[in-house]
Amino acid sequence: MNRSVLWLVPVLALIGVWLLQVFASGGYLPRQWLPAGIIVAAIALVLFGLGAFPGVPGRISLVVAGGLGGYTLWMIVTALWAPSDNGVWMAAGRSATYVLVFVVALTMFQAGSGRTALRYGLVAAAFVLVAMCLGRLLTTSDLMALFVEDRLAYPVAYPNNAAALYLIPFWPLLWVAVDRGERWYLRGPALGLSTALLMLAFLTQSRGAFWAFALSAIAFFVLTPARLRSLVHLAVALAMTALAYPSLNRYWAEGPAAVGQTPILTRLIPCMIAAVIVGWVIALLEPRLQITNRIRTVAGILAIALVLGGTLGGLTTAGGGLSASFDSIRSQWSGLIDDLRGHTPNDTPGTTSDESANPSRFLIPGSSGRWDLWRVAWLDFETAPVGGVGAGNYVFTYNRDRIRDRYGRDVHSLPLGTLAETGLVGGLLLFGSLGLALVTILAPRAAAAWRTTRRLLRRGPPSNGGRSSRLPNHNTAWTMALVATVIFWLLHAAVDWLWEMTAITIPAMLCLALALSQTDRGRNNVSQRNRFSWYRWAVTGLAVFTLIGLTFPYIALKYTDMAVVNAVTDPPLARQQARVAAILAPTDSQPLLVQYQLYRAAADSTTHAGAGLDNLALALDAAEQAAGRDPANWVVLLTAAETAEMLANKVEVWAERTVEPTGKSPDSLADTAQTESIAAHYRGLPPQELRDLARSYADLALHWNPKERGAAELRARLQTLD
């Protein structure tokens, strides 16, 4: 096989993994992202184990990769003080997946075919994404299922993250449409796809995505050397979106059930096709146009001004006038401040009393309740500033310290979440690595801009000896499109949980790796042979560690699922499968909770007192083991407390009656020496001791979730028996 073909295969495989995650509800739950992590680790193991890669990245690229790897290692270290080891393990496994995606891509991008594969792979992936989404919107019989509160959530089940998914490929696609060196027949579809993605993102009504996109647009036009043509193509996408706006906004204003598929058929698809045609026309006519450098420079300055003015104009149009727009911005800011202070009326975080009264969700003030999430995250950082509370453990401290009577698992902010869970050390490793990558990528562009400025001000001689270039550097413009994507991801991740969803973060890592690889071009790989060996085996070691660390939990998850399925039809097999799952995942409480449910069901269904006591005792043992694995999980703690109380009551009731001995009842599951010993232990405890055990677990449940009424009621009930 030709080596140039070999280097593009892993890149296409990574894009395939990304698409699999997109249509696996975004890859948020472990059962969704664990297969992706296993595949990525297997790809890395094969490539680096065999030494089948084009070269070693440059020094700074290696430092960035090492920093990201160090962040993952530090996450594992936080298990030393984190309440839940399983939370740490899952968070570190997801981070290791991102690191391997970044490293494999960065390495394959040392070859030109690898870089080309991502460029056209992004176009192909965007086509699949748009085609699948439009197909689902047009063919579904339950349109409401694709929306959450009248906001498009498909395919990742959460509107804000769906917006991020649609906008992640936007800037690379726009540049493919802009690039004069690209084939004309690809430029039109690229513009059409970028327009379709923008309209789909609009259907999500995501405020965070809207502002992140606007700021990334400003960054793109400040950084790109091809401002005029980029502005023309962006104007086409924005014009088509504006044309479709009244119809598409009906989904928010009236609801999907009332609107149906008509806006998709009559506005979104025709506007997308129109953008394709306009893109083709521009591509065919553009070679005949001649623009001087002076006009290009002036146009570039005007492009930046128009982007800023366009943002203001869009706000003015959507807000009903300039004054109303400023009032809306002031209202959003005031609403956010009120949220942060906890003053939002009616305890409805970040919303007005009637959202449907607003013509667009973009005009509704507030933070959607994030103030409480952010407040607890900052409290965690203040409590443990160096190492945080432990990777993946924020959920427990939030349940404990929240003000609002609502649950949350994620901080909805990558910076705050990183500081809360991994402290300053984790923050420096993660954001230091990302910052170093961006500085390295932007340094040549900044130097070129400085030289251009000096030349325009005539403070120095032209760097090209007086010759003028008719076209801007297209490679630089492509890199800046990738940087704009990373900037969008970082800005949006600052106010939402994008890091936790692999379908959003994997493409961001691919774009960052490709942009950073441009700084390695032209480097002599032969002189780097001394790095080849240690780099190869370091990545191989990470791949092996990740493969093992993710495979066992995934198999355990499958065994747990099988146990749940077989719970009714074949309880003995279900118990065996749950036991295997508990062995394969020694930090996960879920297999033990399944065992608890099986024993509890057997205790409830039997008519024999001895079997009921045996099975309930085994259920209590499983609940206690689960609490040992998840000592901060109030649900597990409350389960153990309720089971201990129930066993105390049954032991007390049957104390004066004749009951079958342990393991002798026909329906008893204490059928081995180990289970018989466990059942005998709990059955032998006095009722008061069992109630004391229940009280201790209820106290712990209340400590980790003071707002849980069930734990408070149980604690009060036990107190009356003292």
Task: Give CA angle at 497 (492, 502), nearest 5°.
Answer: 100
Write down the pLDDT at residue 288: 74
Which residue, 503, 518, 537, sits at the end of a domain? 537
What confidence tier does 345 reach under pLDDT thresholds 50, 70, 90? very low
41 and 162, same structural domain?
A: yes
Same domain, 513 and 612: no
Task: Kindly report the number of other CB atoms within 10 A of residue 180's CB atom.
Answer: 15
> Do 611 and 478 share a structural domain?
no
Evaluate if residue 468 carries a pLDDT over 70: no
With respect to residue 460, please indicate whether it lies within any of the assigned structural domains.
Answer: yes
Instruction: Decide if 640 is inside a domain.
Output: yes
Tell me what the mean pLDDT of segment 210-225 comes to. 95
Claim to verify: residue 532 and residue 646 sit in the same structural domain: no
Residue 377 lies in a domain: no
Banded pLDDT at 364 (limits 50, 70, 90):
low
**Least trusted range by pLDDT, from 78-92, 389-403, 447-461:** 447-461
Strand stretches in 624-684, DSSP E: none
Confidence of residue 720 (pLDDT cuts 50, 70, 90): confident
Statement: residue 316 has pLDDT above 70: no
Q: Is 506 within a domain?
A: yes
212, 72: one domain? yes
- Residue bearing the bigger pLDDT, 570 or 300: 570
**Structural domain of 179:** 3-290+430-537
- Biggest CA–CA distance in the chain, Å, is 106
**How far apart (Å, rounded) are the C-alpha atoms in residues 626 and 631?**
8
Query: Is the predicted pLDDT of residue 399 greater than 70, yes or no?
Result: yes
In this structure, the answer to whether residues 513 and 594 fall within a common structural domain is no
Q: Which residues contact residue 61 at a Cβ distance below 8 angstroms, ignoring those fewer than 6 apart?
A: 106, 437, 440, 516, 517, 519, 520
* 703: confidence class by pLDDT, cuts 50, 70, 90: very high
The answer to whether residues 636 and 509 belong to one domain is: no
Place of tokens 């340094």: 443
Q: What is the mean pLDDT of the chain?
A: 88
Task: Tell me how far CA of residue 186 lies from CA of 120, 127, 193, 229, in angstroms.
Answer: 10, 12, 11, 16
* pLDDT for the residue numbered 355: 54
Task: Looking at the structure, tell me whether residues 91 and 237 fall in a common domain.
Answer: yes
Domain count, the chain: 2
Task: Let me know if residue 420 belongs to a domain.
Answer: no
Among 537, 555, 573, identify where a domain stops. Answer: 537
Q: Are residues 493 and 601 in the same domain?
A: no
Nearest to 487 by CA among 512, 510, 504: 512
Asked if residue 275 and residue 188 are part of one domain, the reply reads yes
pLDDT band at 348 (very low <50, low <70, confident <90, very high): very low
Query: According to the model, what pLDDT value does residue 447 have?
Result: 85
pLDDT one-digit tens code per residue, 507-527: 999 999 999 999 876 554 444
The pLDDT value recorded for residue 718 is: 86
Would residue 302 count as lying in a domain? no
Distance (Å, whole) CA 232 – CA 303: 9
Give the residue, 98 or 333, on which the prediction is more confident: 98
Are 109 and 197 part of one and the same domain? yes
Q: What is the pLDDT of residues 549-570, one digit of tens each?
A: 999 999 999 999 999 999 999 9
Q: Are the CB atoms for 624 and 640 separated by under 8 Å?
A: yes
Lowest average pLDDT, out of 153-162, 357-366, 630-639, goes to 357-366
pLDDT at 173: 98
At 578, is the pLDDT very low, low, confident or very high (cuts 50, 70, 90)? Answer: very high
So what's the pLDDT on residue 529?
59
The predicted-structure confidence for 677-687, as pLDDT tens digits, reads as follows 999 999 999 99
Residue type, 313: G
- 347 band by pLDDT with thresholds 50, 70 and 90: very low
For residues 478-495, average pLDDT: 97
Share above pLDDT 70 across residues of the chain, in percent, rounded to a whole number: 85
The alpha carbon torsion through 147, 149, 151, 157 (nearest 10 deg) reads -50
Residue 46 lies in a domain: yes
Residues 242 and 105 in one domain: yes
18-63 pLDDT, tens digit per residue, is 999 999 999 999 999 999 999 999 999 999 999 999 999 999 999 9
User: Per mean pLDDT, which range of 249-263, 562-576, 652-666 is the poorest?
Assistant: 652-666
The verdict on residue 86 lying in a domain is: yes
